[in-house]
Amino acid sequence: MYVLSAIVIMAALGLVLGLSLGIAAKYLKVESDPLVERVEELMPGSQCGQCGFPGCRPAAEALVSGAAPVTLCPPGGTALVEQLAKLLGIDVDLSDAQDQDPMVARVSEETCTGCTRCFKVCPTDAIVGAPKQIHAVVADACIGCKKCVEVCPTECLQMHPIEVTLRNWRWPKPLAA
Amino acid sequence: MNTKPISGPHIAAIRRVDQIMRQVILALVPATAFGVLLFGWPALYLLVVTVLSAMLFEAFCLKLKGVAATPSLRDGSAILTGLLVAMTLPPWAPWWIGVAGSAIAIVLGKQVYGGLGQNVFNPAMLARVALLISFPIEMTTWANVTPLFTGPGLIDSFALTFFGLDSTDAVTGATTLGLVKTGFSQNLTLPGILADYSSFLAMIGWERGSLGETSTLLVLGGGVWLLRKGVIQWHIPVSLLATVAVLSSLFHLWDGAHYLSPWVHLNSGALMLVAFFIATDYVTSPNTPLGQLIFGAGCGLLIFVIRSWGGYPEGTGFAVLLMNAVTPLIDHYIRPRIYGRYRNGKPLDISNP
Amino acid sequence: MLAFLENPRLRGGIHAEEHKQETCGQTIASDFPLPKKLYIPVQQHVGKPAEPVVKVGDKVLKGQLLAYSQGTISAPVHAPTSGKIIDVQDFPAPHPSALPVRTVIIETDGLEQWAPGNLPDDPFAMAPDQICTRVGEAGVVGLGGAVFPSAVKLSLGRKNQIHTLLINAGECEPYLTCDDRLMRERAGEIVSGIRLMLRGMEAPKAMVGIEDNKPEAYQVMLAACREFDNISVEQVPTRYPMGWDRQMLRYLTGQEIPADGRATDIGVVVHNVATAHAVYKAICLGQPLISRVVTVSGGAVGKPRNVEVPIGTLMSEVLAFCDLDKSKLARLIMGGPMMGDALPFAEVPVVKACNGILALSRDEIEEPEVQACIRCSSCVTACPVGLLPLEMASRIKANQLDSAVDLGLKDCISCGTCSYVCPSNIPLVHYFKFASGELVKRQQAEHKAEQTKRLMNDRNERMERIRLEAEAEAQRAAEARAARMAAQAAAQQQKVEESA
């Protein structure tokens, strides 16, 4: 008798809970598409391609579908990883995360021929100049995508770390115990 | 000179982890010594085995982790844990109870969480509860008071602890709390059960009980010394003891035949040890004064509930573990008010009083 | 009871070994020999750097303007003595990184010729806005260490209907005694400075808060203020960080400044006592801020004392004057031992912010190994702000900065009490400084990302426009050609018809 009532109760319980889960899945369904948009908003948006995807939008789609890790974007750094992990509900161990120093392009004046190829590819118009004149990089607008370095015929464009001054000096992280 | 930027402050208070551990151990020495005096050589053997095995387990775990063992061993936390485990064991328990206790405390209670400072539960209480559930006979066989040099000699004691050769039935009995629990199950009332109870002997600790728990006076003395040294804060001991005292007073006044008096409560079991040495464990208690008051009161309440209505005669271990589990919650909700802000984190209004 | 727990007059804090007796008994040394060269950085204050107005080779007089203030929050710098400008170049700043800063270098001529100035007939009859202007022109900044331009604070006070000027004479950092000595020796001048500040802000009363470990200074100030009913002198308990203006304010008035506000929001302005003295000098003597009293102390210093030195003097020279024993020197600090910065070398100039130069010996500093946190919550008890340093540090260690901000990271004042009491030697404050810098970095990166998106959009739009224009142009050309062809065809047709 006891066995019977136990079986009946458990079966009923399973039925009710399963049913409610089913109903919840149907009526409380989360639309997943806006997520891609929100992820894309977080991304740097420079379409630099360093992640291996053709742009920030495809990268965001890959992130949402789970095909790419949240650590895919080097320019976004740890800050982006933290935000993405929070948005997508992923646990990431950031203890050993280390941001790479941001780099900016710089024109070496001796070898620049003024060919204009670099400022044609610059996604943020960070390179100024005119044909047959030496070009210059506006460091504040440069996002370090290296596209100009790739097209420069004389290798006069090089990536350099941003110069540390009193104004942008920050305390380094203490060595871990 | 150093080229890496060094942040201030460039001076520091002279108080280190190993120093704190040493002070706590020192504060426990009188009560432990009294326990050895009270229960003879077997107690000493058990104590040594427990502390040594605690250190060995610590070294073993650190080796597994690939960390140098000496600096961590030197901070004294393993010795302290071993000592606390030993103090809560029946003094004539066999050696393997001590070793098992140390293993549970160090390996399961501390190192699996990541070592010092990471554990959720108090290692010593975890060991005590795990042993009590797993080995109820060994853990509730209480030796009679057999002061050093009056009981079994060095060799006999060695045999007793390590081979269990002695038939201990003749020299054991129940603790006060155990006596009360069995008495109630036989429909006796308190005045009858406690006919032989001596308030004075209970206070100085001349009674059956765990190795280092019997002497209320010495444990209290050690605790007060730690308070004065600033190693522990008053919040947890005071709120814990006050809660037990108030609750037991109320119930004792209401029904003196079935509820123990506050005096008996305060003087029996592990209450004093727990109040000053276990519940005040930094790692597993809340960070803020208010949180500590709540934690202490919670422990006190649970101890009283388990002692009065639970299945076990003593409830300190369970009470502490339960409150340990609540500690993260308390820490989450009870935070100090930040300067210039309300408790909810919003900035103060301009016209704050 | 609960209200008391919520609003204690004094919360947290520590009592460190004071080490003040080494220097507090001696008068301020004024016989410091004028250095051969002075190095005056153009940025010695919070805000925009000053812009130099002198060229290499110029002769300058004592007190002459070297660089003018740029923008509203900035301060000018002046020549500390007469001499010749020999360079304007980058020179290591007194900063833990010792990174270079633009610096005017003067070769002194030893003549100490003052630049001509005009002194007011009666300083206490000057118009309030005139006082503010003069204080600003004299380059006076907060001398307690925050170096916020004082004139800005005074004008802010006037705009905000101040009821109390709080003069912070806490000097709670161990070792430092420069404010103590200043009060003992120049109380009258300080009081004049306070009266001028009151006038400049049109505030009714002032209150001076002095820690009770300086009874002599208290008595002297009390005597100097006796004839002025609107200036009161109060003793406050000796408990670091009493000199945190908000702590002192809460202790003396019971009021707390809202976390998102300033002291002016509750009708108070706080100035350092040395700033009051600088204001006196600027107005009554017409002397800009070109020198300051510095405490030189520490175990490696043979003759610890307070010295009045010209701004721009190399610290190494000041230390040599006080008999530094280089073999004992373990750490060089600008400021106090709690909040001061360790400097990698002593060849950096004394700036307006420098209230102390400490050469600490090996046994004065603590450098034992960092151990695991045992959650003893000493830091929680010690924190004067009411934060949870242990929790914040563990989050930062795991790079979870947002979560640290939620715990109140932005309310941290970096006073160092948590690190001081930590039995495990965890560099808590260092974690918080790192995290704060990292947050600024992130904010800037975010800003840049926004800019980037805007620039990209602009570029894409431009490209699109160019493409459309080119297409339109091509179409127009095609149409024109078609029209021309049609016309030609028509003409030919006509010719054919005519010939026919």
Cβ-Cβ contacts under 8 Å, B7 against chain C:
96, 342, 427, 429-430, 433
- pLDDT digits (tens), chain C, 500 positions: 445 555 677 888 999 899 999 999 999 998 999 999 999 999 999 888 999 999 999 999 999 999 999 888 899 999 999 999 999 999 999 999 989 999 999 999 998 899 988 788 888 999 999 999 999 999 999 998 788 999 999 988 888 888 999 999 999 999 999 999 999 999 999 999 999 999 999 999 999 999 999 999 999 999 999 999 999 999 999 999 999 999 999 999 888 899 988 888 889 999 999 999 999 999 999 999 999 999 999 999 999 999 999 999 999 999 999 999 999 999 999 999 999 999 999 999 999 999 999 999 988 887 778 888 999 999 999 999 999 999 999 999 988 888 999 999 999 999 999 999 999 999 999 999 999 999 998 888 888 878 877 888 888 888 889 899 999 999 999 999 999 998 888 888 888 877 76
Residue among B2, B10, B348 with most chain C CBs within 10 A, to mutate: B10
**Distance from the B7 Cα atom to the nearest Cα atom in chain A, whole angstroms:** 9
Spatial separation of the C-alpha atoms in residues B14 and B30, rounded to whole Å: 26
Determine the 3-state secondary structure of C229 from DSSP: coil
pLDDT score for B165: 57
Torsion of CA C240, C244, C249, C251, to 10 degrees: -10
Per-domain residue ranges for chain B?
17-333
Give pLDDT, residue A166.
84
The residues, any chain, with a CB within 8 Å of residue B173's CB and separated by 6 or more, are: B142, B144, B208
Start-to-end C-alpha separation, chain A: 62
Query: Testing the interface with B: which of C375, C414, C432 to mutate, by most B Cβ within 10 A?
Result: C375
Structure tokens at A86: 């929070």
**Closest residue of A to B5, CA-based?**
A171
- The C-alpha atoms of residue C85 and residue A139 are separated, in whole angstroms, by 33
Distances (CA, A) of A121 to A105, A130, A131, A138: 13, 14, 14, 15
pLDDT digits (tens, 9 = 90+) for A96-112: 666 667 788 888 888 88
Report the residue of chain A nearest C102, measured CA to CA. Answer: A166
Collapsing DSSP to helix, strand or coil, C474 comes out as helix
- Record: contact C373-B352, CB cut-off 8 A: no
Residue with tokens 């009871």: C1
Cβ <8 Å between B288 and C387: no
Same domain? A130 vs A112: yes
Both tokens of residue B45?
């053997």
Q: To the nearest 5 percent, what fractions of chain A are helix, strand and coil?
A: 40, 10, 55
pLDDT of res. B1: 39
Interface of B with A in 2-41 (CB under 8 A): 4-5, 7
CA distance B292 to chain C (A): 11
* Domain-located, residue A151: yes
Residue B353 pLDDT more than 50? no
**Hey, are the CB atoms on B7 and A172 less than 8 Å from each other?**
no
B329: its two tokens: 């919650």
The nearest CA of chain A is from the CA of C215 a distance in Å of 39
pLDDT > 70? residue B3: no
ipTM above 0.85, yes or no: yes
The answer to whether position A130 is within a domain reads yes
- The DSSP output letter for B337 is P
**pLDDT number for residue C1:** 41
> Which residue of chain C is at minimal alpha-carbon distance from B282?
C376
CA within 13 Å, CB half, B122: 30
Place of tokens 């046994």: C363
Q: Kindly state whether B15 is in contact with chain C, defined as any CB-CB distance less than 8 angstroms.
A: yes
Q: What mean pLDDT is reported for chain A?
A: 82
Q: Is B137 on the interface with C (CB under 8 A)?
A: no
CA distance C342 to chain A (A): 13
CATH of domain B17-333: 1.10.3430
Under an 8 A CB cutoff, do C95 and A123 touch? no
Residues 6+ apart with CB under 8 A from B93: B46, B138, B139, B141
A34 touches chain B (CB under 8 A): no
As for how many domains chain A has, the answer is: 3
Q: How far apart, in whole angstroms, are the C-alpha atoms of residue C358 and residue A65?
A: 58
Task: Please indicate, yes or no, if residue A69 is contained in any of the structural domains.
Answer: yes
Are the beta carbons of A171 and B7 separated by less than 8 Å? yes
What does the radius of gyration of chain C's CA atoms come to, in whole angstroms? 30
Q: Which residues make Cβ contacts (< 8 Å) with residue C250, sequence separation at least 6?
A: B339, C9, C10, C256
Q: Which of B10, B17, B233 sits opposite C331 (nearest CB)?
A: B10
If DSSP codes are grouped into helix, strand and coil, which group holds residue B142?
Answer: strand
pLDDT in tens, B178-206: 889 888 888 888 888 888 888 888 888 89
A172, B4: Cβ pair inside 8 Å? yes
Q: Closest to B117 (Cβ–Cβ): which among C174, C358, C374?
A: C374
Beta bridge partner(s), residue C331:
C360
**8 Å CB contact of C256 and B15:** no
Q: Is A176 on the interface with C (CB under 8 A)?
A: yes
Domain ranges of chain C: 376-500
pLDDT over threshold 80, residue A77: no
Cβ–Cβ of C345/B1 closer than 8 Å?
yes
Residue C403 per-residue DSSP state:
H
Interface touch C11/B339, C-beta < 8 Å: yes
Mean pLDDT of B19-39: 94
CA–CA dist A90, A84 (Å, integer) = 8
Q: B351 falls in which pLDDT band (50, 70, 90)?
A: low
Q: Which residue is closest to A169 within chain B, CA to CA?
A: B5
Do the Cβ atoms of B185 and B199 come closer than 8 Å?
no
Q: Which of C179, C181, C173 minimizes the C-alpha distance to C333?
A: C173
List chain B residues with CB under 8 Å of A95.
Answer: none
Tokens of C406: 């939620």
Q: Quick one: which H or E segment has residue C487?
A: helix C428-499
Q: Cα distance from C211 to chain A (closest Cα, Å)?
A: 32
Say if residue A48 is in the same domain as residue A62.
yes
Euclidean distance between CA atoms C493 and B147, whole angstroms: 140
pLDDT tens by residue, A88-99 = 888 777 766 666
> Are A117 and A141 within one domain?
yes
Q: Which two tokens stand for residue C279?
A: 């204001």
Q: Which domain holds residue A83?
A: 33-88
Within a domain: A41: yes
Q: Which residue of A has its CA nearest to B4?
A: A172
| Of the partner residues C259, C337, C422, the one whose CB lies closest to the CB of residue B348 | C259
Distance between CA atoms of B266 and B237, rounded to whole angstroms? 12
Quick one: A37 and A6 in the same domain?
Answer: no
Q: Determine whether the interchain pair C372/A126 forms a contact, defined as Cβ–Cβ distance below 8 Å.
A: no
Q: What does the alpha-carbon distance between residue C21 and residue C177 come to, in Å, rounded to a whole number? A: 9
Q: In the prediction, which pLDDT does C67 show?
A: 94
Which chains does chain B touch, 3 or more C-beta pairs < 8 A? A, C
Question: Residue A130 — very low, low, confident or very high, per pLDDT cuts 50/70/90?
Answer: confident
pLDDT of residue B262: 94
Q: CB distance B9–C420 less than 8 Å?
A: yes
Tokens of C114: 């003052």
pLDDT at C116: 87
Would you list the DSSP string of C312-369?
Answer: T-BHHHHHHHTTB-TTTEEEEEES-TTTPEEES-S-SB--TT--EEEEEETTTS--PP
The reply to whether A126 touches chain C by the CB within 8 Å rule is: yes
Strand positions, DSSP E, C227-320:
231-236, 268-272, 291-297, 305-310
Instruction: Tell me the pLDDT band of B2, cut-offs 50, 70 and 90.
Output: very low
Contact A170, C95 (CB under 8 A): no
Q: Which residues of C touch A (CB under 8 A)?
A: 43, 93, 95, 97, 99-101, 370-372, 397-402, 424, 426-427, 430-431, 433-434, 436-438, 440-442, 445-446, 448-449, 451-453, 455-456, 458-459
Whole-angstrom Cα distance, residue C334 to residue C313? 13
Least CB-CB distance to B15: which of C5, C341, C423? C423
Tell me the C-alpha to C-alpha distance, in Å, between residue C483 and each of B255, C470, C479, C487, C492. Answer: 117, 19, 6, 6, 14
Across-strand partners of B172?
A: B143
A 148-177 residues with CB below 8 A of B?
171-172, 174
Question: What are the helix (H) ranges across C202-244?
Answer: 215-225
- How far is Cα A83 from Cα A70, in angstroms, rounded to an integer? 9
Given this model, what pLDDT does residue B160 score? 82
Question: What is the per-residue DSSP string for B169-214?
Answer: GGGEE--HHHHHHHHHHTT--HHHHTTT--HHHHHHT-SS--TTTS
